[in-house]
């Protein structure tokens, strides 16, 4: 079993590239849908790295939140004015491209290195939401469990990017080894 695992390491890197692609293609593809675009607004609006993409300032978005699957026309009109959907489409496209570059690392180490490093950077930006977005922590609604370290559903979604960050670095490392072997 140990020999098999040791000998399959290269294939496991490829499996990781495929896994990154699946997650990125799925999440990136969902950015084309209204509910997903609405859902990322708190993260983007509160991010010092990304908030300039929106036309309205935080916390205005709180007055125009749609629940997942909800369609409230006045909220949608606000999101159109805010640039929510245009930004979400562009972000989704970028995420799919990053996933595709990472996947192509199976065949081309330089493309894979680019995708893996972009995966790492994207994960750092996503993890920064834990600092910039109040919605990542359980709010104080009278119960004893709120604030740090109590992650909300949004926070639990974000913290998983620690795994994506590590996977990006591992794939980048593997691509770097393959590039250096060719030199």
Residue 58 has pLDDT above 90, yes or no: no
Average per-residue pLDDT in the chain? 96
pLDDT digits (tens, 9 = 90+) for 18-54: 999 999 999 999 999 999 999 999 999 999 999 999 9
pLDDT digits (tens, 9 = 90+) for 108-120: 999 999 999 999 9
Burial class (CB in 10 A: 0-12, 13-18, 19+), 109: buried
pTM: 0.93
**Distance from C-alpha of 72 to C-alpha of 82, rounded to nearest angstrom:** 15
3-state secondary structure 27-86: HHHHCCCHHHHHHCHHHHHHCCCCHHHCCCCCCHHHHHCCCCCCCCHHHHHHHHHHCHHH
What residues does each domain of the chain span?
27-182
């Amino acid at each position: 079993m140990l020999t098999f695992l040791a000998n399959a390491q290269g294939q496991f890197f490829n499996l990781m590239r495929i896994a990154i692609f699946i997650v990125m293609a799925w999440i990136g593809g969902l950015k084309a849908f209204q509910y997903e675009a609405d859902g990322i607004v708190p993260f983007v609006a509160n991010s010092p790295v990304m908030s300039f993409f929106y036309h309205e300032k935080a916390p205005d978005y709180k007055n125009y939140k749609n629940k997942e699957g909800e369609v409230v026309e006045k909220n949608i009109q606000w999101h159109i004015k805010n640039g929510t959907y245009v930004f979400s489409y562009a972000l989704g496209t970028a995420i799919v491209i990053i996933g595709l570059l990472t996947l192509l690392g199976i065949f081309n180490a330089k493309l894979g290195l680019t995708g893996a490093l972009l995966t790492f950077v994207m994960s750092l930006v996503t993890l920064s939401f834990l600092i910039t977005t109040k919605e990542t922590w359980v709010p104080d609604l009278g119960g004893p469990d709120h604030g740090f370290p109590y992650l909300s559903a949004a926070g639990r979604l974000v913290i998983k990017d620690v795994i994506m960050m590590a996977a990006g670095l591992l794939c980048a490392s593997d691509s770097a080894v393959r590039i250096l072997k060719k030199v």
